[in-house]
Structure 1
Amino acid sequence: MTTLMFILGIVLFAVGLLFSIAWHELGHLSTAKLFGIRVPQYMVGFGPTIWSRKKGETEYGIKAIPFGGYIRMIGMFPPGPDGRLEARSTSPWRGMIEDARSAAFEELRPGDETRLFYTRKPWKRVIVMFAGPFMNLVLAFGLFLTVLMGFGIQQQTTTVSSVSPCVIAQTEKREECKASDDKSPAAAAGMKAGDKIVSFGGVRTEDWNTLSDLIRDSAGKEVPIVVDRKGEQLTLHAKIATNWVVKKDSSGAYVEGKYVQAGFLGFSSATGVVKQDFGDSVTWMTDRVGDAVDSLVALPSKIPALWDAAFGDGPREPDSPMGIVGAARVSGEIATLDIPASQQLATFVFLLAGFNLSLFLFNMLPLLPLDGGHIAGALWESLRRNTAKVLRRPDPGPFDVAKLMPVAYVVAGIFICFTLLVLVADVVNPVRIS
């Protein structure tokens, strides 16, 4: 049964992956057609075609390798200086440019001269290329909202899990009380496990962050605390102690290894699945985008540890880069977790949402062959043409993005090597959630 559920989790991820890719390419396709660009092909996957059907002027299909997708637009790059396709050069670098230019004019038909991608205004080309990653961003936010507002997420609550008998600085790595330790304010006030803190100092406390901040800001004060104990509301009185506690950042997250002196009540909060409202959901998603950007910037620094995990004896860190194979394995693990089915589904949706957020950020890098590279080329063309117009100079014409193809091949080569490294690590030393 466990093996069957593991396989089911992988299949579910594969379906989600294919939908995410198709959704991305749909953004490119719809905006390209909106601006009158001819699109001969819309494909999900690479390699041999499994299924295809032609509707109108576009062939829609699915290919064997579900690691990406593409739409083929006519005239992605402008022709050579003489207005025609140039003959193949013996220079390997020049050859790359000419091959890219030639491919951009494949299947050119009479009447297509006005339907070429490069002839569209730069702002239209930006929209076409941005539409794909934007679709992933929209899908990521939609999936995150579904989980946050529909299922809820695991977080600390205002319910007491246990009461500390004494005051121990969190800088001290011990749990046992000493005779010299003061009694904790929570224990002295008569707080018990299972109590739900309703208000603190007259302020209602519906979430953990609000309660935590109130406690930290009340050092040395005598505070009335209303708790719900088995349906009965009781008012306890506690004098909040001053203690060394873990520092919190502006978003309320704990900063590991950093401590501050603040108010201390002396209890552990219970965790539970809590649904978020729209405002809290937006704040949470904004924080996750920031975390994802930081992870993308830090990606090169994680390669040595990833190499050691793949080919050495190093551990696979929980925040290690993970590819499609690794994500599929995690999806399989999610299906085997001993948690309610609703939480299994919520965790899977979170995984798929994170994957789409990563797709958005990665594709926005201003490097060819990524969408961000084409966006950068269109923006540069717009800047050149507007500058020439202001200075009353001749129009420099369209920027030839094909000249950057050698760089695109280098970027693609680096990406392939990194993908292979992640693939090996995902197979021999995968990230595990259980």
Structure 2
Amino acid sequence: MDLVAFIVGVVVLVVGLAISIALHEIGHLVPAKRFGVRVGQYMVGFGPTLWSRRRGETEYGVKAIPLGGYISMAGMYPPSPAARGAADGSGAPGRAGGGFFATMVQDARAANDETLDSADDNRVFYRLPVYKRVIIMLGGPLMNLVFALVLMTLVLSGIGVQTVTSTVASVSACVPAQAAQECQAGDPPSPAAAAGIQPGDVIVSVDGQDVADFAEAATLIQAAPGQSVPIVVDRDGQSVSLTVTPDTVTRQIVDENGQTVDSEVGVIGVTGTVDYVRQPIWSAPVAVAENVGAVAGLVVQLPVKVYETAATLVTGEQRDPNGLRSIVGAGAIAGEVAATDAPVVNRVAVILSLLAALNISLFVFNLIPLLPLDGGHIAVALWGGIRSWWARVRGKAQPAPVDATKLAPLTFVVVIALVVMGGILIIADLVNPISLFG
């Protein structure tokens, strides 16, 4: 394996991930500022700060570990009882009670209170209308979805899909006595050679049916063993009509019941030219939608999939190639792809597809309705909206804003679960990795 190329592939994926995170946070930042929320920080990464610069009221920066990011918005939650007591002069302590989880709630409230500014109390997140809070929190995942769509468009409609086209690459001179042998004197000419098919011919139709690629032509030829089949080819811009009689060979095929059976099929002795065929512009949205559905299916089964992955660490069984991977596994695959002997365009297409898949995963995963994920904040905002609507319906006074700091214990459990699952996947990708090339 080319070590330099492997490292380049890993670096490209890490940079692509950092860009994905930066775009995700921009998806939060832009609407937050547009709606007047005070944003203290915009950071890409975690850990020590590598670079930062303050512009206006916001500090923009990059941190050392590019595995996440955040923006710091004022007043993500309503002020704590203690802060409200200090503000209205009641002196209410607002204690959360005793115990570990109660202290956790109190700490969450204190951290939130630090973002509040009584002199600028209207520029806080929790005071926004429900739809604006949803737009802000949905902006991050949507940016990942849009980025995935751009990447898939580049792959499918820009580079294209590697396809065996209807252009003839080569024509067998004869039908050898045995498939593994070279042509010998006296061997009969292949059906394609006998019919006059030449390399460079573009197959236009077979048996009166237009064909778009080699696979369609091959299907029609295989269905007519020993029969005379009219073929129209384009040769240097001229339409040429030919007749070919496919030889009959026995091959294993998969029938309509999914069973492998022996079947007699027709062959004529030609190979198609492999080329990149650009797909229609709507192919990317279709591919992204299918990928979103597949990732959503994995997320629904997340605990089971993580358990199965953990079990492979004990049993040593081969992992599901379509299963879960950590960023370590994704980086290793990018490195493997970059280090192959395939043409550069092939490698670029695969890495772009991998980045698109990562962004789709970020989109789906962040919509899980649990704090601290974006979906959790959206759920809190919607619940607050439902409570306000119900109060209006009943003619009651508007309820106080939803105090999501009370969910700090559940948030803590979710964070621990995410750390544990991430750790299992990282260890599995190091000890029992999934490889594209076996």
Please classify the TM superposition score into its range, dividing by the shorter chain length: 0.7 to 0.9
Q: Which runs of 5+ in 2 are unaligned?
A: 86-92, 172-178, 181-190
1:183 maps to what in 2?
none
The match for 2:431 among 416, 421, 428 is 428
CA contact (8 A) 1:305 1:314 kept: no
Q: Distance in 1 between matches of 2:118 and 2:324?
A: 48
Contact 1:78 1:400 in 2 (8 A): yes
Measure, in 2, the Cα distance between the counterparts of 1:393 and 1:313: 61
Does the 8 Å contact 1:197/1:228 carry over to 2?
Answer: yes
Equivalence for 1:205: 211
Which aligned pairs between 1:228-239 and structure 2 lie closer than 5 A?
A: 228=234, 233-236=240-243
What does 1:208-223 align with in structure 2 at a 5 Å threshold?
A: none
Relative to the length of structure 1, the TM-score reads: 0.80
Q: 1:222 to 1:51 in 2, by over 3 A?
A: same
**Residues 24 and 270 (structure 1 numbering): CA distance in 2 closer, same or farther, change over 3 Å?**
same
How far the C-alpha of 1:160 sits from its partner, in A, is 7.2
Q: Distance in 2 between matches of 1:28 and 1:299?
A: 26
Q: CA deviation at 1:425?
A: 1.0
Distance in 2, Cα, partners of 1:47 & 1:308: 32
Runs of 5+ unmatched residues, structure 1: 164-174, 177-185, 249-254
Matched, 1:408 2:400: no
Are positions 1:368 and 2:374 aligned together?
no
Q: Give me the whole-angstrom Cα distance separating, in 2, the residues matched to 1:193 and 1:323.
A: 50
How far apart are the structure 2 equivalents of 1:27 and 1:77? 20
Whether 1:125 and 2:133 are equivalent positions in the alignment is yes
1:352 aligns with 2:355: yes
Distance 1:230 1:322 in 2: 49
Residue 123 (structure 2) pairs with residue 115 (structure 1): yes
Q: Say which is worse superposed, 270-279 or 362-371, in terms of deviation.
A: 270-279
In the alignment, does 2:95 pair up with 1:87? yes
Pairwise mapping of residues 147-186 of structure 1 onto structure 2 (< 5 A)? 147-155=155-163, 157-158=165-166
**What amino acid maps onto 1:297 in structure 2?**
V
Q: Percent identity?
A: 42
| Cα gap change, 1:280 to 1:224, in 2 (>3 Å) | farther
| 1:395 aligned partner | 398
Check conservation: 2:148, 2:288, Cα contact below 8 A: no
> Cα 1:307–1:193, aligned 2, differ >3 Å: closer, same or farther?
farther
Task: Give distance in 1, aligned partners of 2:77 and 2:196.
Answer: 71
Helix, strand or coil: the match of 1:111?
A: helix
For residues 336 and 294 of structure 2, what CA distance do their matches in structure 1 show?
24
1:276 maps to what in 2?
279
The structure whose Rg is larger is 2
Of stretches 300-309 and 82-91 in structure 1, the one that deviates more from structure 2 is 82-91
Aligned CA distance change for structure 1 residues 272 and 399 (closer, same or farther; 3 Å)? same
Comparing 192-201 with 147-156, greater Cα deviation is found at 192-201
In structure 1, what residue type is equivalent to 2:331? A
In the alignment, is the contact (CA less than 8 A) between 1:227 and 1:234 conserved in 2? Answer: yes
Cα contact 2:162–2:275 (8 A) shared by 1:
yes
Contact kept, 8 Å, 1:316 with 1:431, in 2: the verdict is yes
What SS does structure 2 have at the residue aligned with 1:114? Answer: coil
Correspondence 1:98 to 2:106: yes
Distance in 2 (alpha carbons) for counterparts of 1:18 and 1:426: 20
Q: Structure 2 matches for 1:260-409, cutoff 5 A?
A: 272-409=275-412
* SS of the residue 1:395 aligns to: coil
The two structures have a TM-score, normalised by structure 2, of 0.80
Counterpart contact for 1:162–1:192, Cα < 8 Å? no
CA distance in structure 1 between the partners assigned to 2:8 and 2:255 by the alignment: 42
Name the residue aligned to 1:252.
none
Q: 1:207 to 1:299 in 2, by over 3 A?
A: farther
Kept in 2: contact 1:335–1:344 (CA 8 A): yes
Change beyond 3 A, Cα 1:365–1:263 = farther
- Offset at residue 87 of structure 1 (A): 3.5
* Distance apart, 1:317 and its partner CA: 2.5
In 2, distance between residues paired with 1:274 and 1:145? 13
For residues 32-47 of structure 1, what are the structure 2 equivalents within 5 Å? 32-47=32-47
The 8 Å contact of residues 8 and 332 in structure 1, kept in 2 or not, is answered as yes
CA deviations 1:135-168 (Å, max 9, x no partner) are 11110100110111111122454467999xxxxx
Displacement of 1:299 after TM fit? 3.3
SS of the residue aligned with 2:325?
coil
- Determine the structure 2 residue equivalent to 1:17: 17
Amino acid at match of 1:332: G
Q: Distance in 2 between matches of 1:402 and 1:191?
A: 79
- Provide the rounded CA distance (Å) in 2 between the counterparts of 1:236 and 1:296: 54
1:143 and 2:151 correspond: yes
State how many pairs are aligned. Answer: 409
Q: Which residue of 2 aligns with 1:418?
A: 421
1:98-138 per-residue CA deviation (whole Å, 9 max, x = no partner) reads: 22222122143342311111111111000000001111111
Alpha carbons 2:28, 2:140 under 8 Å: kept: yes
> How far did residue 202 of structure 1 move?
4.2
Q: State the distance in 1 between where 2:32 and 2:303 align.
A: 34
Distance across 2 between alignment mates of 1:404 and 1:313: 39
Q: CA deviation at 1:355?
A: 0.7
Change (3 A) 1:271 1:364: farther
Q: Which amino acid aligns with 1:335?
A: A
How much does 1:401 deviate? Answer: 2.0
CA shift for structure 1 position 48: 1.7
